[in-house]
Structure 1
Amino acid sequence: MTEPPTERADAARNRRKILDAAARLVAAEGAAGLSLDLVAKAADVGVGTVYRRFGDRAGLVFALLEDRERRFREKLDGPPPLGPGAPPGLRVRAFLHALVDLVEEQRELLLLAEASSPGARYGSPPYAAQHTHLAALLEEAAPGLDAAYLADALLAPFTPSLISYQLCERRFDTARIKAGLDDLVGVVLSNTTA
């Protein structure tokens, strides 16, 4: 993944203020009522600044998701089992468990993003980073398997509408979703030691 181009200091400060204000509004009031006008007011910047920076609400939502994904990726270099030092099979499970928590935490934003741009998830930088990381772990855990395909298959259950359906309609809790993913990973890696 490439990092965004270097910003002027004032532009970087405004971007951070806007993202922090948007995150506070989503946490306090939910994502459904998120508007660029409210975010501008909460960030104490002009609404034109928000529009120039993010274009529209969908652009702001994707920026929030990418910001959270960047923070999530930083944890992948932390202590095992999520970070290096654990066997790859355990790292696959830890990664998927952490991803369940991340998706549950930002479910409303993910649903907005999915509704505003169906299919955009697969071309997004967060999905690319998740896929690359998971494929590398799978290749290490089970050389010879089609790691790129299996990474897509193991990320498929993270479609925002499916996670929301499981949590809200099926009344699954995150522990049950994680246990199901463990079963799935166990089948995929059944010929390897995890």
Structure 2
Amino acid sequence: MDSPLVPFGKPPAERADAARNREVLLCTARAMIAELGADHVTMDGLAERAGLGKGTVFRRFGTRAGIFRALLDAEEQRFQCGVLSGPPPLGPGADPVDRLIAYGRARTGFLLERHDIARAGLERKGAVPPATGPSFSRPHIRMLLGQADLDLPDLDSLALQLTSALEGPLLLFLAAELPDAAADAAAERCQGGLGTVLADSWQSLIERLARR
């Protein structure tokens, strides 16, 4: 049995009009990010482009960072659905080791492709969160390790270490105070070869654990 869906936060019950407004705002924010970049998305600009009052945006998201956290939460839930019910090897039906490899490769791409949204979702005076999505990664990795029957000791600790290896590179990037030029260069690396390097490293790690 696969892991349950683990969203970032339990969404409150919404009226139909509030749910519609939320979807309009999220769709508008995605369009603005694609067109202008995350740095240029503001509460005022989002409200104006969505055709809604600024008060609606504040009530929905609280802060500018809240907009990006909501976007990342929606993306995270879609990613989890693909893992739980999508086609193999990421989804059910494949060999557990193949699923572990596919999960790490897909997760690496997911995190790096959304690093700008994740950074924008940090409150400027707040601490970096412990991870972007380990509440799902850790139990999922633990489940697959158990199914793989690799005769390895202490699978709980191993799952924690593998989760840290998978989620950690993004956390280091988020925690770094980068000047604009360095941030731009890092973004280019994320979109280029860095994702492939990290994905290949993950695959090598899992294959060694499985003694392939």
TM-score range (shorter-chain normalised) is 0.7 to 0.9
Structure 2 length-normalised TM: 0.77
Q: Distance in 1 between matches of 2:187 and 2:40?
A: 24
Report the identity percentage: 34
CA contact (8 A) 2:109 2:195 kept: yes
Q: In structure 2, what is the Cα distance between the partners aligned to 1:36 and 1:82?
A: 36
Alignment of 1:30 onto 2:37: yes
**Residue in 1 aligned with 2:170?**
158
Give, in whole Å, the separation in 2 of the partners of 1:132 and 1:72: 15
Give the aligned partner of residue 104 of structure 2.
Answer: 96
In 2: Cα distance, 1:134 partner to 1:183 partner: 16
User: Which sections of structure 1, spanning at least 5 residues, go unmatched?
Assistant: none
Among candidates 110, 120, 127, match of residue 129 of structure 2: 120
Amino acid at match of 1:82: L
Deviation at 1:107, TM superposition (A): 1.9
CA RMSD for the aligned pairs?
2.5
**Alpha-carbon deviations, 1:114-134, whole Å to 9, x = none?**
573443143x6x331233322
SS of residue paired to 1:45 = coil
How far residue 72 of structure 1 moved from its aligned partner, in angstroms, is 0.9
Q: Distance in 2 between matches of 1:175 and 1:61?
A: 25
Corresponding residue pairs, total: 187
- Whether the 8 Å CA contact 1:81–1:90 is kept in 2: the answer is yes
Preserved contact between residue 83 and residue 91 of structure 1 (Cα < 8 Å): yes
Q: Which amino acid aligns with 2:91?
A: G
Q: TM-score scaled by structure 1?
A: 0.83
Alignment partner of 1:159: what SS? helix
What 5-or-longer segments of structure 2 have no aligned partner?
A: 1-5, 175-182
